[in-house]
């Protein structure tokens, strides 16, 4: 497989060897369509997350453990994945079984777990998108794709940007990025929306006020 890849890439390099340098891309577009007011950006993120059928909550640091425990109870989640680096206090009030990713967990083990709680890298208000990069408190991609319930905590305003152009300089392209806009859904078959096909059926987002 590796030899075939190298042969293909060598042919591509040879084909473009004499091609002129590509011009620099134009950067004269608007960086954002909103003001820089953090309160306005927060409201826009809340609105667009809800528009994508995420369930949005707001909490302070002190309110967060009780809220997460309540959300897990509401969804009857008896087990929850705890990514490495997740603050211990966030799950202090829950009675659900807490599973770490030591081993790591197999796809079959993950499929038997009801929920996952994570932080995020950042959130984009104009598109209602949450970006995960497998950093502390987020875990590897499978942790947020297999369990049926994903509770994601976004720190406001520190982890919120208005637009994609503002997000790109804050993202490390060498990391495994997952961009989430609402729960997993598809309408491929007769335009009937089906949720939970490629990821969690339910996305609960907590906007954590500093």
pLDDT at 160: 98
User: Has residue 25 got a pLDDT over 90?
Assistant: no
SS3 of the chain: the string is CHHHHHHHHHHHHHHCCCCCCCCCCCCCCCCCCCCCCHHHHHHHHHHHHHHCCCEEEEEECCCHHHHHHHHHHHCCCCEEEECCCCCHHHHCCCCCEEEECCCCCCHHHHHCCCEEEECCCEEECCCCEEEECCCCCCCCHHHHHCCCEEEEEEEECCCEECCHHHHHHHCCCCCCCEEECCCCEECCCCCCCEECCCCCCEEEEEEEEC
pLDDT at 124: 98
Give the Cα separation of 151 and 147 in Å (integer): 10
Give the Cα separation of 16 and 134 in Å (integer): 35
User: Has residue 197 got a pLDDT over 80?
Assistant: no
Give 81's strand partners: 99, 116
Average pLDDT of span 79-106: 96
Q: Which of 148, 149, 132, 51 is nearest to 86 (CA)?
A: 132
**Model pLDDT for residues 117-162, shown as the tens digit of each residue:** 999 999 999 999 999 999 999 999 999 999 999 999 999 999 999 9
Give the Cα separation of 133 and 139 in Å (integer): 8
């Amino acid at each position: 497989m590796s030899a075939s890849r190298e042969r293909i890439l060598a042919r591509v390099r040879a084909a473009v060897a004499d091609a002129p340098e590509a011009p620099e891309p134009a950067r004269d577009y608007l960086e954002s369509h909103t003001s820089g007011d953090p309160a306005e950006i927060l409201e826009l993120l809340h609105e667009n997350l809800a528009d994508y059928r995420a369930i949005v909550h707001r909490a302070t640091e002190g309110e967060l453990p009780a809220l997460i425990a309540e959300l897990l109870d509401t969804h009857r989640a008896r087990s929850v994945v705890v990514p490495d680096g997740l603050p211990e206090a966030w799950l202090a009030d829950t009675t659900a079984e807490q599973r770490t990713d030591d081993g790591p967990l197999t796809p079959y083990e993950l499929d038997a777990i009801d929920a996952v709680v994570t932080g995020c890298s950042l959130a984009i208000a104009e598109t209602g998108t949450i970006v995960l990069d497998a950093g502390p408190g987020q875990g590897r991609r499978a942790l947020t794709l297999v369990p049926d319930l994903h509770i994601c905590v976004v720190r406001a305003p520190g982890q919120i940007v208005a637009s994609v152009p503002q997000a790109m300089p804050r993202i490390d392209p060498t990391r495994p990025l997952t961009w989430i806009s609402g729960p997993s859904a598809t309408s491929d078959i007769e335009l009937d929306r089906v949720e939970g096909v490629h990821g969690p059926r339910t996305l609960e987002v907590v906007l954590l006020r500093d």
